[in-house]
């Protein structure tokens, strides 16, 4: 199978490309900041929003497009217009945040999408993903190309550029404690990045995935559960400082709190459809935490 990966050098895209290149002919199109050639992928360099540059590459012969970096309305349309072929499938990485907020229900792929645009950088990101999902469906509706939409919840693991677990490892290596809000009602559903990439790879080219959407969401946990798993993986290096959720320190905007802290920030997702479609299982948090600690400790523990 010939796969055109858009982005593909950061976090989920990087891990996916590393896995996919072992089995398929993979071409990565990005701005060339990080090469993926060492993992067996061919590389093309262009700005995805420059249609003339894309056309000059003569993007032909691909069976599937896997898009990790569509962030702005028009990104899908520009790419599809520049393709010199009609792939069988366009797999778009969206986000689980696209669903309607505060319904009090576990959100499935059939749940309504949010119709309200929220402010701030995160609100803009979510709104653009909603528009891009619609854009993909419109593009596919004009051709024989099939859409597949994947909506990850919170992911963790090696290569994560979001300031989450890497910060905790760096703090531990510097001899600093991790502040943990005890009793915080916020919960989240972390997915180990290699699991997410493996699911994506199974969905790539899978006819039963054509026209479908999939959530990627793991078992529920909270700050205590996540930090304890990561601390256990550290073999005594990490130290947790527990404080009551009601403590004023957690109202301080300077306090490092990368995960949902409150009930208002919490949404629950059903990730079963993706597992049933692929036959895969998720790595337990205790195992994923060990792999995550080892990966980041290899960077910060020797600096």
Quick one: pLDDT at residue 247? 94
Number of domains present in the structure of the chain: 2
303 pLDDT above the threshold of 70: no
287 pLDDT above the threshold of 70: yes
How do residues 93-150 score in pLDDT, each as one tens digit? 999 999 999 999 999 999 999 999 999 999 999 999 999 999 999 999 999 999 999 9
Please tell me whether residues 203 and 109 are part of one structural domain. Answer: yes
Whether 275 maps to a domain, the answer reads no
Whether 279 maps to a domain, the answer reads no
How do residues 38-95 score in pLDDT, each as one tens digit? 999 999 999 999 999 999 999 999 999 999 999 999 999 999 999 999 999 999 999 9
What average pLDDT does the segment 10-19 reach? Answer: 96
SS3 of the chain: CEEEEECCCCHHHHHHHHHHCCCCEEEEEECCCCCCHHHCCEEEECCCCCHHHHHHCCCCCCCEEEECCCCCCCHHHHHHHHCCCCCCEEEEECCHHHECCCCCCCECCCCCECCCCCCHHHHHHHHHHHHHHHHHHHHHHCCCCEEEEEEECCEECCCCCCCCHHHHHHHHHCCCCEEEEECCCCCECCEEHHHHHHHHHHHCCCHHHCCEEEEECCCCECHHHHHHHHHHHCCCCCCEEEEECCCHHHHCCCCCCCCCCCCCCCCCECCHHHHHHHCCCCCCHHHHHHHHHHHHHHHHCCC
Please tell me whether residues 241 and 200 are part of one structural domain. Answer: no
Please tell me whether residues 137 and 252 are part of one structural domain. Answer: no
Whether 199 maps to a domain, the answer reads yes
How do residues 196-235 score in pLDDT, each as one tens digit? 999 999 999 999 999 999 999 999 999 999 999 999 999 9
Whether 92 maps to a domain, the answer reads yes
Whether 278 maps to a domain, the answer reads no
Please tell me whether residues 138 and 239 are part of one structural domain. Answer: no
Quick one: pLDDT at residue 110? 98
How do residues 158-210 score in pLDDT, each as one tens digit? 999 999 999 999 999 999 999 999 999 999 999 999 999 999 999 999 999 99
Task: Return the CATH number at 263.
Answer: 3.90.25
Please tell me whether residues 48 and 167 are part of one structural domain. Answer: no
Quick one: pLDDT at residue 25? 98
Whether 15 maps to a domain, the answer reads yes
pTM, two decimals, is: 0.96
Quick one: pLDDT at residue 43? 95
Task: Return the CATH number at 17.
Answer: 3.40.50.720
What average pLDDT does the segment 280-295 reach? Answer: 98
Please tell me whether residues 133 and 225 are part of one structural domain. Answer: no
Please tell me whether residues 177 and 111 are part of one structural domain. Answer: no
What average pLDDT does the segment 23-43 reach? Answer: 91
Residues 83 and 96: beta-carbon distance below 8 Å: no
Please tell me whether residues 145 and 291 are part of one structural domain. Answer: no
Please tell me whether residues 103 and 139 are part of one structural domain. Answer: yes
Please tell me whether residues 26 and 142 are part of one structural domain. Answer: yes
Whether 273 maps to a domain, the answer reads no
Quick one: pLDDT at residue 8? 85
- pLDDT band for position 9 (cuts 50, 70, 90): confident
Please tell me whether residues 40 and 141 are part of one structural domain. Answer: yes
- pLDDT band for position 32 (cuts 50, 70, 90): confident
Whether 110 maps to a domain, the answer reads yes
Structural domain span for residue 252:
161-189+220-267+284-300
Please tell me whether residues 97 and 198 are part of one structural domain. Answer: yes
């Amino acid at each position: 199978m010939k796969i055109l990966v858009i982005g593909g050098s950061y976090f989920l895209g990087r891990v996916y490309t590393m896995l996919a290149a072992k089995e398929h002919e993979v071409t990565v199109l990005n701005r060339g900041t990080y090469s993926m050639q060492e993992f067996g992928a061919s590389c093309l360099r262009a700005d995805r929003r420059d249609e003339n540059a894309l056309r000059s590459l003569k993007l032909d012969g691909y069976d599937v497009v896997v898009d990790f970096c569509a962030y702005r309305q028009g990104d899908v349309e520009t790419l599809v217009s520049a393709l010199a072929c009609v792939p069988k499938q366009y797999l778009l990485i969206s986000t689980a945040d696209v669903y309607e907020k505060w319904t009090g229900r576990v959100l499935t792929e059939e749940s309504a999408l949010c119709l309200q645009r929220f402010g701030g950088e995160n609100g803009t990101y979510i709104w653009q993903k909603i528009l891009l999902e619609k854009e993909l469906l419109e593009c596919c509706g004009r051709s024989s190309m099939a859409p597949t939409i994947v909506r990850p919840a919170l992911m963790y693991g090696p290569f994560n550029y979001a300031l989450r677990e890497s910060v905790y490892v760096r703090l531990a290596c510097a001899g600093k404690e991790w502040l943990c809000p005890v009793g915080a009602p916020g919960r989240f559903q972390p997915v180990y990045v290699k699991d997410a990439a493996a699911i994506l790879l199974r969905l790539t080219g899978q006819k039963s995935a054509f026209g479908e959407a999939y959530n990627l969401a793991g078992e529920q946990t909270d700050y205590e559960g996540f930090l304890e798993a990561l601390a256990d993986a550290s073999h005594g290096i990490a130290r947790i400082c527990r404080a009551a959720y009601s403590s004023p320190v957690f109202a301080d905007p300077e306090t490092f709190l990368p995960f949902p802290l409150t009930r208002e920030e919490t949404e629950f997702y059903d990730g079963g459809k993706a597992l049933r479609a692929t036959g895969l299982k998720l790595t337990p948090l205790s195992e994923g935490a060990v792999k995550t600690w080892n990966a980041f400790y290899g960077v910060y523990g020797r600096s």
